[in-house]
């Protein structure tokens, strides 16, 4: 028997359908909505190429929603570090505490979208050079929503193609024809990419790499190197043998029967009596 659904929830779902069209999914159980999920991008009008961050918002409805606050989960953040994700959670909690008893899903979507619009710049580090993204950097967003400095990504793709060619040269000719053709892949998730390397090469290096002081060997590094070289691996004593020695093989007796050779059919055996030699 299906459970009746609060009329306010139906009204909220109809409003979401009119505003988001197909931009959300409803998970139901026996006809009762249990969760609402949507992928949120920053507001950049129709310029999707300028959407550098995104996050999936999942709102789990409680049995007595909207009389109690739903559970909110942010999944698969792209271009957002843990600090920014925690700030979004803080704003969501403040909104939930102030609006208990009212449908709140659309307002939560707007909170997240507004935050992404203000912070539409990838945070964290480029996993290739390990430098942060700062103003003035030229970076690239992959279709899988991972971000790299364009200069770093060009170096990665050039080196990966060089490594592929070197490994291909080691194969015999018959294996080269069956080898999988080279494909550009994302350094993080290995999704296939299609970038013009010559265009990426024209980008300047990361700003932090230009302004970074030259590397020098500090006292801490010297001490760490000395301590690591001073540590010797523990000596492993040989274990006593616990195997049982095999019994000596019995002495083989020499065969006294004269060898009869092979017959004409190349089968071992004795010739029959009276058979011609």
DSSP 143-180: TTS-EEEHHHHHHHHHHHHHHHHHHHHTS-HHHHTTSP
In this predicted model, what pLDDT tens digit does every residue of 118-154 receive, in sequence order?
A: 888 887 788 999 888 888 889 898 988 888 999 999 9
Domain housing 150:
139-213
Provide the domain count of the chain. Answer: 2
Question: How large is the average pLDDT for residues 81-89?
Answer: 90
Q: What is the DSSP letter of 81?
A: -
Q: Which of the listed residues 190, 213, 236 is the one where a domain comes to its end?
A: 213
Distances (CA, A) of 57 to 31, 43, 49, 64, 224: 22, 16, 21, 20, 45
Per-residue confidence (pLDDT) for residue 260, from 0 to 100: 53
Whether residue 206 is contained in a domain is answered as yes
Q: Does residue 211 or residue 44 have the better pLDDT?
A: 44
Q: Say yes or no to pLDDT of 2 above 60.
A: no
- More confident position, 245 or 91: 91
**What CATH number should be reported for the domain holding residue 181?**
3.30.40.10
pLDDT at residue 262 greater than cutoff 60: no
Q: What is the structure's pLDDT at 200?
A: 93
Q: CA 221, CA 195: separation in Å to the nearest integer?
A: 39
Name the one residue in this structure whose structure tokens are 């993204």: 133
15 and 65 co-located in one domain = yes
Cα 64 from Cα 70, distance rounded (Å): 9
pTM of the model: 0.61
pLDDT in tens, 183-232: 999 999 899 999 999 999 999 999 888 877 776 777 887 887 777 766 56
Decide if pLDDT at 255 tops 90. no
| Domain stop point among 195, 213, 231 | 213
Q: What angle do CA 69, 74, 79 make, to 5 degrees?
A: 150
Q: What is the mean pLDDT of residues 30-48?
A: 86
Q: Examine residue 186 and state whether it is found in any structural domain, yes or no.
A: yes
| Selection from 191, 189, 186 nearest residue 152 by Cα | 186
Cβ burial, residue 88 (10 Å; 0-12/13-18/19+): buried
Domain end, chosen from 171, 195, 213, is at: 213
Q: What's the Cα-to-Cα distance from 137 to each of 131, 134, 159, 208, 274, rounded to whole Å? A: 10, 6, 22, 9, 103
Q: Outline where 42-189 has alpha helix (H).
A: 82-98, 105-118, 150-169, 173-176
């Amino acid at each position: 028997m299906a459970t009746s659904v609060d009329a306010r929830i139906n009204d909220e779902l109809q409003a979401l359908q009119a505003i988001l069209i197909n931009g959300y999914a409803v998970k139901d159980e026996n006809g009762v909505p249990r969760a609402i999920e949507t992928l949120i991008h920053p507001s950049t009008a129709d310029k999707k190429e300028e959407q550098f961050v995104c996050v999936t918002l999942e709102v789990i409805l409680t049995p007595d929603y909207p009389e109690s606050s739903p559970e909110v989960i942010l999944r698969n953040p792209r271009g957002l570090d843990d600090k920014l994700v925690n700030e979004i959670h803080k704003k969501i909690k403040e909104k939930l505490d102030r609006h208990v008893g009212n449908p709140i899903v659309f307002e939560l979507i707007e909170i997240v979208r507004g935050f992404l619009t203000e912070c539409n710049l990838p945070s964290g580090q480029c996993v290739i050079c390990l430098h942060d993204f700062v103003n003035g950097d030229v970076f690239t967003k992959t279709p899988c929503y991972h971000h790299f400095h364009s200069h770093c990504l060009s170096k990665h793709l050039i080196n990966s193609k060089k490594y592929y060619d070197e490994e291909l040269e080691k194969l015999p000719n018959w294996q080269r024809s069956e080898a999988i053709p080279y494909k550009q892949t994302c350094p993080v998730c290995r999704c296939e990419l299609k970038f013009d390397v010559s265009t990426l090469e024209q980008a300047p290096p990361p700003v932090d790499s230009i302004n970074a002081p030259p590397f020098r060997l500090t006292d801490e590094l010297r001490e760490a190197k000395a301590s690591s070289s001073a540590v010797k691996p523990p000596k492993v004593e040989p274990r006593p043998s616990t195997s049982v020695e095999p019994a000596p093989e019995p002495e083989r007796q020499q065969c006294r029967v004269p060898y009869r050779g092979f017959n004409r059919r190349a089968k071992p055996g004795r010739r029959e009596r009276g058979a011609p030699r």
